[in-house]
Every structure is written in structure tokens, then in C-alpha cells.
Structure 1
């Protein structure tokens, strides 16, 4: 009986520790969403409702906390980053789906990306994660527009990808959002037009 009680106490402490750790990570992300990209330990502790000492029990330092919060956010978003590829769909349908998907990613990741870009200047691990994400999204682009890009010579394919990807960089989304006052339909139409032109001029080479 005593052993069971001790086991239950241990489970309770583990669950409480997990809840507190999750609360701390959620607090960091909430602060990012509010526009503070470089929160202090005091800011996070107050938002999470825990002590500073508790935070240092879960994370070795502030940088470790920020890195973990970013990884935590990306893990949650994982399935949403995937784009279904159906190359039998028309070019126009695939353009619209691609634009809608990238706009959705921007909406979901804008605040965490702003914070991550700030941190990446001094955090090599975060910069490395950015590069991995960039390569993943580029491969996604190549797969999605395989019928148009596949037959191109390597130098033509590289030129097509660079031209087409440029409007979908995070900084381009930020500029576009500011220029259109965040009006989604305007952003969407501009991106569709740009992507159609970028890939369309190479489609004439293939046909």
C-alpha cells in the first residue's frame, strides 16, 4: 500500500512538472504573439504563473528556453506544413493550392519566425533549423510543380525556382502584408499572378 502511494506521488509530481513546463513554453509563444520577440525570464515566469527558479529547473538558460519554445511550436505545426502533391491537377489549381498553403503557413508562423530570425543571429542551432526548413519548402515546391520544372535544364530550373520562390520568402510576406494592409484577397491575388508568371514563362519552353 505504501509503495503504491509513493508511486502515485511520483506520478503526480511528474504530471505537475510536465504541466508547468508546457505552461512555460506556451507563455513564451503567447508573448511572441503579442509582439515581444525577446522576452526576459521574468516576463515568461509572470505569464506562466511560475517562479524564475522553476523555469531554471526545466531549462538551463534563457537561450535554451527560447530554442525549446520554437521547436515546440514547429512540432505542433508539423502536419500543417505538409502540402499534398497531385500533379494530375491543372497548373492553375496547383498554383492556387500552393499560394493558399503558404499564406496559411505565414499566418501560423509569423510571430515565431520573427522571434527566430532575431535569435538566429546569435544562435547557430536556430539558424540551422531555418536552413533545414528552407530546404524542405524548396523540395516541396519542386515536387508540386514537377510537371513544369522537371523537363527544364538544370540552369533553367534553378532560375525558375529562384524567381518563383522570391515572393514567398518571409520578408516578402511581411512587405506584402504591410503594403496591402493585410487584406488577404489582395495578397492572394498578387501571389497567384506572380507565381503564374514566374513558372508560366518556363512552361512555354516545355510545351
Structure 2
């Protein structure tokens, strides 16, 4: 694929199109595509939610109570659960282990307003880094078809493949929310993060 026009996707002056580094492969293995798709969603979500202050993280639209801060904290928790307890039965660690899930509905969403921007971004970034490491280790041990600990929790056979697709689904659902809220905060729109500068 070539183009003679300048474009925001990095294609200029009849140079071949180069996929951005966050894209899944154009022709790879199943694991490469699953992890690549997940990484693209993570990068896009981090861009959509990034750089906001307290007011931006607390913005709501319409009748919805969803906020960017709530989405960040929720997806941090999803990353932790999907890559830890649901795979190997380990503790999720704090703040998840002692959270009042039974007393406070949607605690992860509602408690985010008590956290600073720095705390929320650090919580999310640490959760993603930990999940990346744990998922890669799990895949090395047994691939996508392996039975995970969630099977015993729900009394059904659950594979790592299903767990990863559930994580992708979580991002797919909430990126749409992030799109709408971010546009309301400062007008930012767009499908992908800015294309990296050619070196």
C-alpha cells in the first residue's frame, strides 16, 4: 500500500504504509493476534483517558454517571482479575482484596472520585504491566487452550482463550464510553493515538 499524499497515519510521498507499533500483526499466529488486539485497545484507552485533571476525570455526560476516572479504575481491576485470580487463583492484592464489593455497588467506578489523577494513572499502568507479564507467562506454560482457575469458581470449564477474549470485550465496551466522555471534556476525537514520528 502506498500513497502520494501526506496523511495522519504516517504515509507520505509514495512511501509504503507502516503499521503503528500498537497494531496487531497483519498475518500472525492466533496468540500474536489476540495479544496484539488487546495491546491496541490498551494503548488507545490510555490515550483517550490520558492527561486529565480532577475535573476532566470526573466529567459525566447526559444521564450517565460514568466518568473517565471510573473507567480507568474499573479496567485496572479487570486487568488484575483476568491475569491473576481468574488464571491461577492468586489474591488480586490491594486495593481490590479489601474493597467493599458487597456493600458498595460498582465500588471501582464510584470510588475513583476519591483518588487523585496520579493515583488512578499509576494504578492502571501498574495493572497493565503486571497483566502483560502474567499473561505471557501463562501462555508460555500452557497456551490458549489451558484450563484456568475460574473453572472451579463457576463450576464450568474455562480456557485462557475465553479469559483473554473477555478482557478484549471489556475494552471494546468501555472505549466507546471513553470516546464520548473525552469529546465532552475537551473536544478530543479520533480513532487512534497520533502516529509516531518517523525516525
Is the pair's TM-score, using the shorter chain for normalization, greater than 0.5? no
TM-score (norm: length of structure 1): 0.25
TM-score (norm: length of structure 2): 0.26
Which of structures 1 and 2 has the larger relative contact order (alpha carbons within 8 angstroms, sep 6+)? 2
Structure having the higher helix fraction is: 1
Max Rg structure: 1
